[in-house]
Amino acid sequence: MIEQLIYFSPLFILLFGIMTFMCNRSQENEPLQCFRLARILLALSFLMCVIFFNKPLLAGITIGSRFTLINNSLMYLGAFILMFFSRRWFLSMKMNANAFCIGVFITLLFGSLLIASVHLLLTVVCLAALVINNACMLQYTQSKNRADGKIILFSVIMALLLLIGGTLPFYVDGFSLFYEELRLSIEHHQNDVALFASVAAILVIFMLYIGLAPLHHGMTELLGSVTLPVFTFFILVPSIAGIAGLINLNIYVLVPLLSKLKLFYAGVALISIGIGAVGACSCKNIRKILAYAAIYHLGIVFLILQRFSLSSTVAAYVYYVIYLLTMYGVCAVLFGFKIKGEYPLMLSDFNGAAYRRPYISAMLVIFLFSLLGFPPTLGFLGHFSLFTDLVIHNHFYQMTFLLLMMLALAYSYLTIIQALYFEDSHDVFDRAERSIYVVIFANAILMALLLLQPQYLFDVLTNIIGDLFA
């Protein structure tokens, strides 16, 4: 019993943090203290996660593996970077950061559970909590805009209805909701239309949570206007739990439905890639461009995941990890540009920034080229594994479409580079924190090392994902 409680300690620490932030009504010394406490709790929780990474939180309902560890690490790292950089903004705006910290902690709490879950009910509950939490986080910075609020409310209600609709048939038909047993049940009822509809409903919620097209609209529109801390949160943290949960579901439950779901996956992925690339081209707001680009990149991950095989899952995960590492860098760079205490939104605000902040701008350009798969950046490795996977499995049309969309996405990134380097400078940027340089440099070093010795990345991820297939 005590042993089980110790295994629960990462979640208890997060719960403790949530409670503390909820009870904290004092405005004094806010938000520095708030972020300090959040960082300490995050570090403690992560430490416990690492120590007990192979111990299941709830026997039978969750699993502990290297896969959960690596996803938790990525999620905590994202949250830590977020907390580290956000504190200055909250301080300069004199805003209460409790709600923000609660949102991040809830995501970590349910995200960790979703990553480790091997029980459909737990997965569904975590997904519902995460969707509601995301909506609250968006509402938190969008309270003035009623129209956006309605969109959020509508999507949350739809998500909950779909979740209930997707899970009930399994329950009513007497299926066990444990992944392994559920898979056996699905194998015997492969032609059951209602069952397929239920699976599709659950997958739709995953899509909504990750922010894939065509359910992206509210998310991208809002991300274009939210504050940078919230934007960074949405770019870095939620998708990790979503992708990991989806990979678990694919491998443990949905393999029997592979032939039927292939078209669904490919369709969603191609729509996301298309909308992400074309949408980014039409934007003049840097955060919107990056939000659309996120749809594009997550669409690619979805595209490779469509085969549920070890090689494709590894390729997808390698691509995703590289994308995430690059986005850590991009977000850190965005925190380096500040005009009179505010983070700029529009591309025109970045005009001539390279002459004011040459190193940060150069790193942003390198990260953007990495996202486009330009060698010798780490992104090339992700793109190479992606294209090799598509060609090996004879998906020539999908590859052609992807290449065309890469051109469109390249255009949107060029507009950012154009603003940074080829336009005249008007604005005076505030002094960037030294920690931003440190984080960007560390990120660049990590990426360079992985590029020089890519076999470590491939071997480690192949072994980790291979364990799931074993």
By the criterion CB under 8 A, which residues form the site for other proteins?
Answer: 358, 365, 369, 374-376, 380, 383-384, 387-388, 391-392, 399-400, 403, 406-407, 410-411, 414, 417-418, 421-423, 453-455, 458-459
Residue (136 or 414) nearer to other proteins, CB = 414
Q: How far is the CB of 374 from other proteins (least distance, A)?
A: 6
- Show the tokens assigned to 18: 């949530």
DSSP annotation of 215 reads S
Residue (12 or 421) nearer to other proteins, CB = 421
Cis, peptide link before residue 376, omega less than 30° from 0 = yes
- Show the tokens assigned to 306: 């469509």
Q: How far is the CB of 462 from other proteins (least distance, A)?
A: 10
Do the beta carbons of residue 104 and residue 237 sit within 8 Å? Answer: yes
Residue (171 or 458) nearer to other proteins, CB = 458
Do the beta carbons of residue 159 and residue 131 sit within 8 Å? Answer: yes
Nearest to 13 by CA among 39, 41, 36: 41
Rounded-to-integer distance, Cα 230 and Cα 86, Å? 9
Q: How far is the CB of 133 from other proteins (least distance, A)?
A: 39
Q: How far is the CB of 306 from other proteins (least distance, A)?
A: 18
Residue (154 or 411) nearer to other proteins, CB = 411
Residue (50 or 391) nearer to other proteins, CB = 391
As a whole number of angstroms, the longest Cα–Cα distance in the chain is 67
Residue (459 or 467) nearer to other proteins, CB = 459
- For Cα atoms 49, 140, 283, give the angle at the middle one, nearest 5 degrees: 95
Q: How far is the CB of 463 from other proteins (least distance, A)?
A: 13
Tell the residue number behind the tokens 């003049």, with chain if given.
284
Which distant-in-sequence residues (6+ apart) come within 8 Å of 323 by Cβ? 297, 301, 371, 379, 382
Q: How far is the CB of 369 from other proteins (least distance, A)?
A: 6
Q: How far is the CB of 354 from other proteins (least distance, A)?
A: 8
Residue (242 or 299) nearer to other proteins, CB = 299
Which distant-in-sequence residues (6+ apart) come within 8 Å of 169 by Cβ? 194, 195, 197, 198
Rounded-to-integer distance, Cα 212 and Cα 300, Å? 10
Do the beta carbons of residue 162 and residue 205 sit within 8 Å? Answer: yes
